[in-house]
């Protein structure tokens, strides 16, 4: 079995890199649904349809463990995938998301006030607020939709991203911990830190490698089935010059395939 990584666009690449650096021995297939990015401004039904297509694709590519790197897709679809899709369509496949590991990490140093920046769909779902309050019922969760960031990052427009961040962070001046609740945002985590120098920034590329390593140690029944060929495939549904430029910064020798 291979490890699959799915995202709506560029963000998943930085999560894939973190996983590959932490666990280089396994075989990976990355799929970015770049034809439909951004997911954060789409309806829940459309997000579910796109994610189901991606899961079927990765399963057909031999992936037995799939990481949904997209926060929006995790928020909207993960429970359905785990409870209904996998038992019927692929009972041998495990699908994991990024939200619970992120919540656990954020709460390591703060149980009082926690900020969240994310896509409009993730904020509408209140998934971070729900999961944080399951552990700390009195937690004050301040969530803000940041719709200008994903298009700017996808277009390789980091000047535009910085301008947007400079506006968005005004909400979080006195917040001790800020979750970057979109896998695109780690690409610009240094900009968040620049404008919030005294805030702990929780970026998913900093935690997912350790979290997956720990998961596999606790689930040997999955780990022993993973193939160890050290292979990587990167597949996208559409290519753009901006995407290619950022992808090459993350993986200098990357070969992008179209599906």
Q: Could you read off the pLDDT tens digit of each residue along the chain, which spans 259 residues? A: 999 999 988 889 999 999 999 999 999 999 999 999 889 989 999 999 999 999 999 999 999 999 999 999 999 999 999 999 999 999 999 999 999 999 999 999 877 899 999 999 999 999 999 999 999 999 999 999 999 999 998 888 999 999 999 999 999 999 999 999 999 999 999 999 999 999 999 999 999 999 999 999 999 999 999 999 999 999 999 988 878 888 998 999 999 999 8
Residues 184 and 245 in one domain: no
Contact assessment for residue 7 and residue 70, using Cβ atoms and an 8 Å cutoff: yes
Strand order in the sheet with 113-118: 140-145, 113-118, 177-180, 200-202
Residue 12 belongs to domain with CATH number? 3.40.50.1860
Q: Same structural domain for residues 26 and 107?
A: no
**How much is the pLDDT for 11?**
83
Of the residues 3, 5, 65, 70, which is catalytic? 70
HSE (side-chain half, CA atoms, 13 Å) at 178: 28
Q: Determine the structural domain holding residue 146 and report its residue range.
A: 100-203
CB atoms within 10 A of CB 66: 26
Domain endpoint, select from 203, 219, 246: 203
pTM of the predicted structure, to 2 decimals: 0.93
Confirm whether 63 is a catalytic residue: no
Catalytic residue among 3, 10, 75, 182: 182
Q: Mark whether 86 is an active-site residue.
A: no
One domain, residues 170 and 220? no
- Across the chain, the runs of DSSP E, i.e. the strands, are 2-7, 28-32, 63-68, 94-96, 113-118, 140-145, 177-180, 200-202, 232-236, 256-258
| Domain match, 89 and 118 both | no
Residue 115 and residue 85 in one domain:
no
- The burial of 160, by beta-carbon neighbours within 10 Å (0-12 exposed, 13-18 middle, 19 or more buried), is given as middle
């Amino acid at each position: 079995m291979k490890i699959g990584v799915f995202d709506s666009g560029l963000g998943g690449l930085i999560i894939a890199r973190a996983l590959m650096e932490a666990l280089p021995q396994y075989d990976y297939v990355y799929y970015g649904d770049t034809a439909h990015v951004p997911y954060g401004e789409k309806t829940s039904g459309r997000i579910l349809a796109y994610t189901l297509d991606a899961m079927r694709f990765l399963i057909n590519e031999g992936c037995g463990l799939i990481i949904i790197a997209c926060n929006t897709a995790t928020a909207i679809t993960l429970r359905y995938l785990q409870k209904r899709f996998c038992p019927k369509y692929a009972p041998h496949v495990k699908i994991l998301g990024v939200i619970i590991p992120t919540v656990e990490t954020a709460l390591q140093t703060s149980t009082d006030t926690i900020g969240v920046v994310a896509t409009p769909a993730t904020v509408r779902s209140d998934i971070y607020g729900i999961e944080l309050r399951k552990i700390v019922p009195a937690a004050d969760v301040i969530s803000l939709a940041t719709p200008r960031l994903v298009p700017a990052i996808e277009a390789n427009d980091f000047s535009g991203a910085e301008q947007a961040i400079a506006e968005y962070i005004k909400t979080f001046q006195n917040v001790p911990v800020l979750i970057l609740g979109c896998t695109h945002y780690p690409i610009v985590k240094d900009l968040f830190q620049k404008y919030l120098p005294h805030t702990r920034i929780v970026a998913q590329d900093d935690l997912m490698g350790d979290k997956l390593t720990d998961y596999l140690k606790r689930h040997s029944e999955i780990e022993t089935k993973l193939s160890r060929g050290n292979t990587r495939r990167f597949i996208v549904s559409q290519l753009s010059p901006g995407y290619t430029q950022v992808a090459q910064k993350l993986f200098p020798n990357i070969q992008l395939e179209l599906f």
